[in-house]
Amino acid sequence: MKKFAFLLVLALAALLGLNACDSTSILGSAGEVIVVMDKADWEGELGTEIRAALESPVEFLDPAEKKFKLTFIPNGALSRQLRMNRNIVLCQKVDSSAVIFRKDVWAHPQIVVQVDAPNAHALAQLVAANADAIYRRIEMAEINRNVEKCYKYEISEITAKIEAFAGGSPRIPATGYRVGNEADHFIWVNNATQYVTSGVIVIAYPAAGDGLDLDPDRLTARLREQINLNVPGGPEGSYMDISPLVVPIVSDLNVNGRAIKQIRSRWIIEGDSMGGPYVSHSFLSPDGSKVVTMMGFLFCQRYDNRNYFRQVESILYSFKWAGEAASEK
């Protein structure tokens, strides 16, 4: 009888093990990607395409940093511990060709990118053709992990302040953020430590309704106007501005059904040497009467910037209208 009970326990354990990812937390550092393929392929065309997709420099960081830190693992060496990494790319030689994005295969919250093709050359071509999608899915997996923390540690008092003038709010996490300044339809929340400063600015104003409310030049001009007035620098008379010497990168996104105009560039302090990267999300209110712009920015000269910048950018993705349910991007 005891033997039967012992075997029953083993059977139940094995059955539960099939769904281990439901309760097993991911391992690995933020921004780390495990890449699995044959060693010869890593050193050849396939490895070159993977590195081009995931190791290109992040825009506007100074000094330059790679988008992700790649760790190569040979086929057959993906141990039980390594498979619980947060981000995994599996390159497999099989008869069919496909790029498959899988969630929570061995842990949670995990993204596994499975690239299948008959040979190394075909795999390399498939990676090259899907480089943007592969990067974007891993990037959004990292952002969504941060967004979960924004909701978990939300400062509800700041949410209420922003909702009062914008109709919705990003979720500012209680990780050191404080209100730096408030004005009419403007708020600046700041997280300043000895070596790293990150901040989020939210502004809202009536839409013109002329079809140009999300024009990048107009958006930038309105944002500059507000930060010039409301975000002072250290030296007397200095103030925050957007660098006129940098050509911004403008993208169109869809986040939770909202059409977003995203702008990436660099900010500066006029009258000082301080500056760094920023990203902004601008969009119309549901009734089209209001423009909302959120700006996430970073100043960091002592440490690597990428993970800090991703964290502040993630706050923008946590925005939701008052009464709207949170959803994954």
pLDDT score of 326: 63
Does one domain contain both 204 and 127? Answer: no
On the question of pLDDT at 237 being above 70, the answer is yes
Does one domain contain both 247 and 186? Answer: yes
Q: Are 314 and 328 in contact (CB under 8 A)?
A: no
Residue 24 within any structural domain of the chain: yes
Does one domain contain both 226 and 295? Answer: yes
Residue 82 within any structural domain of the chain: yes
Domain boundary among 130, 148, 166: 148
Does one domain contain both 245 and 310? Answer: yes
Does one domain contain both 115 and 227? Answer: no
Burial of 18 (0-12, 13-18, 19+ CB in 10 A): exposed
3-state helix, strand, coil in the chain (%, to 5): 30, 35, 35
Residue 6 within any structural domain of the chain: no
Does one domain contain both 101 and 248? Answer: no
> How many other C-beta atoms are found inside a 10 Å radius of the C-beta of residue 130?
19
pLDDT score of 23: 54
Task: Give the number of residues written for the chain.
Answer: 329
Does one domain contain both 275 and 298? Answer: yes
Does one domain contain both 102 and 236? Answer: no
Residue 70 within any structural domain of the chain: yes
Say how far apart CA 203 and CA 184 lie, in whole Å. Answer: 9
The mean per-residue pLDDT over the stretch 16-25 comes to 54
Could you tell me how far CA 42 lies from the centroid of its own chain?
A: 27
Domain boundary among 123, 148, 173: 148
pLDDT in tens, 137-192: 999 999 999 999 999 999 999 999 999 999 999 999 999 999 999 999 999 999 99
Confidence class for position 64, pLDDT limits 50, 70, 90: confident
Does one domain contain both 137 and 169? Answer: no
CATH code (residue 294)? 3.40.1000.10
Residue 5 within any structural domain of the chain: no
The mean per-residue pLDDT over the stretch 286-296 comes to 97
Does one domain contain both 175 and 140? Answer: no
Which domain does 104 fall in, by range? 18-148
Which one is predicted more confidently, 129 or 256?
Answer: 129
Count of domains for the chain = 2
Residue 197 within any structural domain of the chain: yes
Domain boundary among 98, 119, 148: 148
Does one domain contain both 235 and 281? Answer: yes
Q: Quote the Cα angle for 84-85-88, to 5°.
A: 110
Q: Is the peptide bond before 206 cis (omega within 30 degrees of 0)?
A: no
The mean per-residue pLDDT over the stretch 24-48 comes to 96
Does one domain contain both 276 and 197? Answer: yes
> How many other C-beta atoms are found inside a 10 Å radius of the C-beta of residue 222?
16
Residue 161 within any structural domain of the chain: yes
> pTM for this one?
0.90
